[in-house]
Amino acid sequence: MAIPPWKLQLQPASFNGVEFHVEVGARSSGRRNAPHEFPKKDKPYTEDMGRRARTFVVGAYIIGADFGFQRDALIAELERETNGALVLPTSSDEKIVVCDRYSVVERRERGGYCELEMVFIEAGQDPSTLIGSDTQSSVNNTVGSVTGSASSYLDSTLGSTFIGSTDITRLT
């Protein structure tokens, strides 16, 4: 009997290099919508606020003679204050996530085995770390290329438009 192609593409699951077995995996996301309803209007307006963060819920287990070492290593990674790399068996890409929460269940009748439920949220990127463009320099460079000199143009234009601090004392 031939092995189904999807089984050949399975890969070991791990979080920050600590492997585990996956029993159940779920992913959720969608759009963030802000519905606006107006007085005396029958039709609402729904504003799209962008994609929701992707969430991954993983039902996993660790089994074997050294399950305690693997369990403790995974818990240590789940509790670290940093992003981590999540690899799931059926996904072709590595996800950079943060662990939102987890739970571990160990049963007396199942020695050498523990069940975990882990909830991960995609890490994304902190907007304050994005490099923005320097719009003031862009404007100065554009004006300078058109007039030949940015500073003389700005001085002549802005000098007549804005009141300087010395002008305010003369006005009072």
Give Cβ neighbours of residue 31 (< 8 Å, ≥ 6 apart): 48, 49, 50, 51, 52
**DSSP character at residue 29:** -
Q: What is the pLDDT of residues 106-117, one digit of tens each?
A: 998 888 899 999
Q: What is the pLDDT of residues 3-37, one digit of tens each?
A: 888 877 888 999 999 999 999 999 999 999 999 99
pLDDT in 10s for each residue of the chain, 172 residues:
788 888 778 889 999 999 999 999 999 999 999 999 999 999 999 999 999 999 999 999 999 988 999 999 999 999 999 999 999 998 878 899 999 999 999 998 888 899 999 999 999 887 777 776 667 777 777 777 776 655 554 555 555 455 555 555 555 5
Q: Taking the CA atoms of the chain, what radius of gyration do you get in angstroms?
A: 29
d(CA 125, CA 3): 40
Q: Per-domain residue ranges for the chain?
A: 9-125, 135-171
CATH of domain 9-125: 2.40.30.200
